Amino acid sequence: GTEWSAINQATFLAGNLAEPSNLTVSELMYNPPGPSENLEFIELVNLSGTETIELGGSAFSTGIQFSFPINTLLPPGARLLLVSDEEAFASRYGEGLPVVGQYDGLLDNGGEQIVILDAAGNVILDFTYDDGRQWPAGADGGGRSLVNRGPDMNDALSWRDSDLLMGSPGERDNSEFSGIPSADDDGDGIQALLEYATGGNELSPDSIWASPSISQSSDGHLEILMNVNMRASDIDLTLEKTLDLQSWEPLSGFKRIAIERDPSQGSARVIYRATSPTTQGASTQFLRLRASRR
Ligand SMILES: [Ca+2]
Ligand SMILES: [Ca+2]
Ligand SMILES: [Ca+2]
Ligand SMILES: [Ca+2]
């Protein structure tokens, strides 16, 4: 007689799979107000402008547990939601939002590591959010969510409080610069992109926003303060220094000591402090703020 092997079952994932370059967490409600945690949610976004991605087979492996079913397709720029309690979520936010499912476990109110792996076990996303110093206070039980605004998701400066109370699940949260970067329509000498990046207004002259200010603390440490438009997730703002006004390099020897957030304006003042006191007779250095599009 003929012997047949057992049927092998294989699952084939088609199309573009989720990977670090095309998937991120855009919003996190880890500590909804009140004692109940049943209004937690995580919003994911497809960062690709052109490709639909397949999340099937990928899974949250740390923090919370959730495995994406095969054929979880996310169109370019689209968002999806995972929630702690589908029923509670629908009664607060309504039906019709792109909820893919309910996860096991809860998002730690004190912050924790979140990891998403693909079907082969490769890391798609690995970051740790926090509720501590420099992190958005409104999202820590104050009725706001954590909104992602930057690529380094372990960094407090890459997150802000949501503009809306209870966040905006399924909706876009950040702004994008539109216009001519080098324009200066209000004639205040500050280019439009820099005004946008620092929370200035390109429709009215305002010189204070765009330039970092420098002061010296009572114990002789230089402090640098810069303004940031926290809604701008499309801009890198970097401080650079030079001795000769010709070759600029990233500022070094400073540590960020505070992020003073103003959620009503969507802005923050970020303060850096020199790690060592100013020395007598040091050569003159110059500082500039550089805004570039990601
Ligand atoms: Ca929680
Ligand atoms: Ca959102
Ligand atoms: Ca201007
Ligand atoms: Ca202006």
Q: Of the residues 146, 161, 176, which one is the last residue of a structural domain?
A: 161
Return the ligand number nearest the Cα of 37. 1
User: How far, in Å, from the CA of 102 to the mean position of ligand 2?
Assistant: 17
| pLDDT confidence of residue 212 | 87
Ligand minimally distant from the alpha carbon of residue 162: 2
Q: Around 60, how many Cα atoms within 13 Å sit in the side-chain half-sphere?
A: 22
Does some domain include residue 166? no
- Kindly give the distance from the C-alpha atom of residue 185 to the centroid of ligand 4, in angstroms, as a whole number: 8
Instruction: Please indicate, yes or no, if residue 220 is contained in any of the structural domains.
Output: yes
Instruction: State in Å: Cα 219 to ligand 3 middle.
Output: 36
Quote the CA–CA distance of 53 and 19 in Å, as a whole number: 9
Tell me how far apart the alpha carbons of residues 215 and 208 are, in angstroms, rounded to a whole number. Answer: 15
Asked if 23 and 87 sit in the same domain, the reply is yes
On whether both 20 and 100 belong to a single domain, the answer is yes
Among all bound ligands, the one having the nearest atom to the CA of 200 is: 4
Same domain, 152 and 20: yes
Beta bridge partners of 214: 224
Question: Across residues 210-238, what is the average pLDDT?
Answer: 93
Does residue 147 lie in a domain region? Answer: yes
Residues 25, 108, single domain; the answer is: yes
Average pLDDT for the chain: 93
Please determine, for residue 282, whether its predicted confidence score (pLDDT) is greater than 80.
no
Domain range holding 205? 192-293
Q: Is residue 7 scored above 80 in pLDDT?
A: no
Q: Do 241 and 106 fall within a single domain?
A: no
Is residue 88 domain-resident? yes
How many A from CA of 108 to the centre of ligand 1?
5
Distance 189 CA to ligand 4 centre (A): 8
Q: What is the CATH number of the domain that holds 196?
A: 2.60.40
CA of 201 to the centre of ligand 3 (A): 7
- Domain end residue (candidates: 161, 182, 215): 161
Query: What pLDDT digit, counting tens, does each position of 81-122 carry?
Result: 999 999 999 999 999 999 999 999 999 999 999 999 999 999
Say how many domains are in the chain. Answer: 2
Distance 40 CA to ligand 1 centre (A): 6
Claim to verify: residue 92 and residue 212 sit in the same structural domain: no
Tell me the C-alpha to C-alpha distance, in Å, between residue 93 and each of 28, 33, 85, 134, 160: 15, 15, 12, 29, 21
Helices (H), 153-274: 192-198
Q: How many angstroms does the Cα of residue 45 sit away from the middle of ligand 1?
A: 21
Q: How far is the CA of 210 from the centre of ligand 3 (A)?
A: 9
Of 57, 176, 215, nearest in space to 122 by CA? 57
- Do 55 and 75 contact (CB within 8 A), yes or no? no
Residue 115 domain flag: yes
Q: Give 222 Cα–ligand 2 centroid separation in angstroms.
A: 38
CA of 257 to the centre of ligand 3 (A): 29
| pLDDT for residue 280 | 78
pLDDT score of 6 more than 90: no
Mean pLDDT of 213-224: 92
Structure tokens at 217: 């603390």
Closest ligand relative to 146 C-alpha: 2
Ligand closest to CA 184: 3
Ligand (nearest to CA of 187)? 3
Ligand 4 centre from 292 Cα, in Å? 18
pLDDT digits (tens, 9 = 90+) for 28-50: 999 999 999 999 999 999 999 99
Indicate whether 271 belongs to any domain.
Answer: yes
Same domain, 131 and 203: no
How much is the pLDDT for 52?
96
Is residue 173 included in any domain, yes or no? no
Q: Which residues surround ligand 4, an ion (CB under 5 A)?
A: 186, 188, 195, 200-201, 206
Alpha carbon of 55 to ligand 2 centroid (Å): 19
* Smallest-distance ligand from the CA of 81: 2
The reply to whether 155 and 226 lie within a common domain is no
141, 23: one domain: yes
pLDDT, tens only, 151-169: 999 999 999 999 999 999 9
- Going by pLDDT thresholds of 50, 70 and 90, the confidence category of residue 10 is low
Q: Is 36 a member of any domain?
A: yes
Return the closest-CA partner of residue 118 out of 160, 46, 68, 182: 68
**For residue 228, what are its two tokens?**
């940031």
